[in-house]
Structure 1
Amino acid sequence: MAILVPFFQQLTGINVIMFYAPVLFRTIVITGVVNVVSIYLFILTVDKVGRRFLFLVGGIQMLVCQITVGTLIGVEFGTSGQGTMSKTISSFVVTFICIYVAGFAWSWRGLGWFVPSEIFPLEIRSIGQSINVSVKMFFAFLIAQTFLMMLCHLKFGLFYFFGGWVVIMTTFIFFFLPETKNVSIEDEVSLVLA
């Protein structure tokens, strides 16, 4: 979990949005509001609804948004990447990117740090968390270095590429992450290790 959760967290495509979307959102304040609201919702709900549920619902929300954005951009620009986007379509793209960022913020952003930190016994928690951080930083670097090349080759398919990873990571969580809602941290460690 200390390796795969941060690995999948980086392959959600959030870094692509966060690295390159500021140009798109320079005049839009809503993304900051969406992030603040999402973090607040995460804090309020993580123990009430459970980690696994938040992972799964966030994954579904991000997948729907990525497929929608990829399709809208594909319909507007095709494989040539030439043309202009209508105001209506660009409004939909911005809306779905904001919904995507919100889905990431209230699920995978916090849980990508939270779950790996709580699954280890106290004696080795710092080692487990250092593995978690190392994996995150390595894949953030790798995505930042390869994004432009991938964009040139995949064009709108880049959203489908990251959407495929969201399907894989959500399936992984569904089958392998036990629910830890209302479980003490000592019992949680043995539940995850079982």
Structure 2
Amino acid sequence: MAAKLGDHGSVEKGYALAILILICLYLAGFGLSWGPLGWVVTSEIFPLEIRSAAQSITVAVNLFMTFFIAQIFLAILCHFKSGIFFFFAAWVVLMSLFIYFLLPETKNIPIEKMDKIWREHFFWKRVIGESAYEATEDKRIEAA
């Protein structure tokens, strides 16, 4: 697209159709992969006690970012031109790295055990600490 279009130019109808199809495939791929992930991750990964709060935060952040991106998209498009696809691709790479390294695996783990998984995770255990239930349980065992 950058080679054919340049800063100010036009492309043949066949090439424009190919660009349109590629953009539609890009959006369909996002809609089938990363688009719904914000909803799925919060419903599967957070313990029952905080799931509703996590889902609320997800909805608020999602709607705000949708509004924000809609407001600045044309300005970014004018500055980055075809580089906007690389800009969003870089964000997908960053999101993938975050998911891979910083979110625990939930396969075959009941939702009731997720608080334990979070407390044992190499990164999040420093943020979460031990639960109040475990602290009380430990004190009761020591007292006995």
Asked if TM exceeds 0.5, the reply is yes
Q: Report the equivalent of 1:187.
A: 113
Describe the shift of the 1:85–1:122 C-alpha distance in structure 2 as closer, same or farther (beyond 3 A): same
Q: Report the equivalent of 2:17.
A: 91
Q: Report the equivalent of 1:120.
A: 46
Equivalent pair of 1:116/1:132 in contact (CA under 8 Å)? yes
Secondary structure of 1:157's counterpart equals helix
Gaps of 5+ in 1: 1-72
Secondary structure of 2:36's counterpart equals helix
Offset of residue 157 of structure 1: 1.4
User: Counterparts of 1:177 and 1:121 in 2: how far apart (Å)?
Assistant: 13
The percent of aligned pairs where both chains have the same amino acid is: 50
**Greater RCO structure (CA 8 Å; 6+ sep):** 1
Alignment of 1:151-170 (within 5 A): 151-170=77-96
Matched letter for residue 38 of structure 2: G
User: Counterparts of 1:192 and 1:83 in 2: how far apart (Å)?
Assistant: 53
User: Counterparts of 1:114 and 1:131 in 2: how far apart (Å)?
Assistant: 14
**Greater C-alpha Rg:** 2
Q: How many residues align?
A: 120
Offset of residue 109 of structure 1: 2.0
Matched letter for residue 152 of structure 1: C
Alignment of 1:14-53 (within 5 A): none
User: Counterparts of 1:120 and 1:177 in 2: how far apart (Å)?
Assistant: 10
Q: Report the equivalent of 1:75.
A: 3
The runs of at least 4 aligned residues of structure 1 exceeding 6 Å deviation read none
Secondary structure of 1:127's counterpart equals helix
TM-score with structure 1 setting the length: 0.55
Alignment of 1:168-179 (within 5 A): 168-179=94-105
Q: Report the equivalent of 1:130.
A: 56
Describe the shift of the 1:121–1:179 C-alpha distance in structure 2 as closer, same or farther (beyond 3 A): closer
Secondary structure of 1:109's counterpart equals coil
Equivalent pair of 1:118/1:189 in contact (CA under 8 Å)? no
Structure 1 vs Structure 2 CA RMSD: 1.9
Which digits, 9 at most, give the CA deviation of each residue in 1:122-159, with x for residues without a partner? 22221111111111111111111111111111111111
Offset of residue 185 of structure 1: 1.9
